[in-house]
A and B are shown apart, each in its own frame.
Chain A
Amino acid sequence: MTADARAEDLLRSLAPQVLGALVRRYGHFDACEDAVQEALLAAARQWPQEGLPESPRGWLITVASRRLADHWRSEEARRHREEAVAALEPPPGETPDRDDTLTLLFLCCHPALSAPSQLALTLRAVGGLTTAEIAHAFLVPESTMAQRISRAKQRIRAAGARFDLPHETERAERLRVVLQVLYLIFNEGYTASAGPDLQRTDLTAEAIRLTRELHRLMPEDGETTGLLALMLLTDARRPARTRTDGSLVPLAEQDRAAWDRAAIKEGTDLVAATLPHAVPGPYQLQAAIAAVHDEAERAEDTDWLQILGLYGLLERFAPGPMVTLNRAVALAMVDGPLAGLALLAELDDTLRGHHRLDAVRAHLLEQAGDPEAARTAYRAAARRTTSLPERRYLESRAARLGRPSGE
């Protein structure tokens, strides 16, 4: 790792601690967040040239506090706060409060915010990414992302959020949102890693880093462990899931030698350690399914019976048409494509017009030996997907089945 990358890593991990310390001391999440961003930028400029300060955390807190004071000083209407802030010199070497990262995560994933805003705010406040980096990752102009973040901060203030861990009862509900946001960040990076844009791969790394941190703070929570395992087991396949031209490689055709063995081991260990004790939840079950896939040496060795059982459980804990769709795939592998197709028929109302239903039906029709119907379904799926690599993949499957008579 280069010195620059080390400094960057350090900044990312210090960002939530510094922000936590400031918000705890001064309140005003929005102003503190701006000040921390400025301090991070200053550090990113100065540290590579001048070397790391003795206490990077203390350095950041001091610089951010000064920026905060400058900011308040420059606002005429807030002059009365100036003395109060100026009097508060940051105490050197204060011990880090372990819960600050968690508190920040809960705050950024405030239910009053829309999902895109939760994502953006989490990446900035907890992940330490700059607005420009986040805007780049989500393919929107920086001004758009800046507005989204500033509006998000206004909203949590308007919702009366305080910098405290929510009550026990609210905490479980908020944790669910936190996990969802982390998973969304991961997926945003994972489903986009096909492009030439490396920044989005950074998002998966960031999501894993933040989930790891959350797992460190709440090791006893089964779903947090499950989510971390799910991310590791999914990300492990990244080197094999795209060809050099960016096209998608289906799971069954991936070169399993290219999978990240260390990530798979860590993921499966987490699943094995958690599943027997914790109350099973959707992330743990999905992680268990991913583990079964990843443990098979060859695609044909996949233990589909076990996967079918796990999807059955998942359907009980978190029912939804997408879960049923995946169970139909597993059922087809165990009992044959006709059984899978029969189950798909139940989804015609709930998933009508969804490209995933057409795509799965196409695969099963192809396996069942009905190329004509399979081609029609592949074409329908290709027309409906909004993912370019997916569309190319589906079109190539349709083309492989030949031209329909009369075309």
Chain B
Amino acid sequence: MKYLLMIYMNPAVFESLSEAEQNAVMAEHDAFQKPIRESGELVGFAALADPSTSRTVRVREGVPAVTDGPYVEAKEFLAGYYVVDCETPERAEELAAQLPDARLTAIEVRAVMESGGLEM
């Protein structure tokens, strides 16, 4: 089963860290990736640019309108994600707990929908 580990960021929390601490967070991400890359659990990951760079697109009555900024305005925003392929949901939670951001903010773990299903 694939899980999306969503890294939520609060800039106020991150900025309260010293530069050394911020670098340590980045180093932890590198360290996090190595074993799950080797085990084949890592499917993909991305760091997202700041939401100030977001553009939100709406189409109303066939007319697209583009506005600056994110769809949801909140203190916390999605800063990046990992997609992992784990044997159990518990394992996905275990991986989420290893992320440095789990100590600073929180990681949301959500299962990825599959295209198949049983005949019910």
Chain A residues with a Cβ under 8 A of chain B: 114-117, 120, 138-141, 144-149, 151, 190-195, 197, 200, 237, 241, 246, 248-251, 254, 359, 385-391, 393-394
* Cβ 8 A contact of A116, one of B85, B111, B113: B85
Kindly list chain B residues whose C-beta atoms are within 8 Å of the C-beta of A246: 115
A145 contacts B87, C-beta separation under 8 Å: no
Q: Does B42 contact A (CB under 8 A)?
A: yes
Q: Does B44 contact A (CB under 8 A)?
A: yes
Q: Does B24 contact A (CB under 8 A)?
A: no
Of chain A, the residue at the smallest CB distance from B111 is A386
A151 contacts B40, C-beta separation under 8 Å: yes
A191 contacts B44, C-beta separation under 8 Å: no
Kindly list chain A residues whose C-beta atoms are within 8 Å of the C-beta of B85: 116, 138, 140, 144
* Cβ 8 A contact of A147, one of B2, B38, B117, B120: B38
Kindly list chain A residues whose C-beta atoms are within 8 Å of the C-beta of B49: none
B43 contacts A386, C-beta separation under 8 Å: no
A200 to B41, CA, bound (A): 20
| Given contact pairs A386-B112, A386-B114, A388-B115, A250 touches B40 in the complex (Cβ within 8 A) | no
Number of interface residues of B (CB under 8 A): 22
* Cβ 8 A contact of B43, one of A120, A144, A249, A390: A144
| Given contact pairs A114-B87, A144-B85, A191 touches B116 in the complex (Cβ within 8 A) | yes
A and B contact pairs by CB, cutoff 8 A, 24 listed: A115-B87, A120-B40, A144-B41, A146-B40, A147-B37, A147-B39, A148-B39, A151-B40, A191-B114, A191-B118, A192-B115, A194-B117, A195-B115, A197-B115, A200-B116, A241-B119, A249-B119, A386-B1, A386-B114, A387-B116, A388-B113, A390-B118, A393-B117, A394-B120
Known: A192-B116, A248-B118, A387-B118. 19 other contacts (CB 8 A): A141-B44, A145-B40, A146-B40, A151-B38, A151-B39, A190-B116, A191-B116, A193-B116, A197-B115, A200-B116, A248-B119, A250-B120, A254-B119, A385-B117, A386-B1, A387-B113, A387-B115, A388-B113, A388-B115
Shortest CB distance B40–A (Å): 3
B120 contacts A359, C-beta separation under 8 Å: yes
A144 contacts B40, C-beta separation under 8 Å: yes
Of chain B, the residue at the smallest CB distance from A389 is B117
Shortest CB distance B1–A (Å): 7
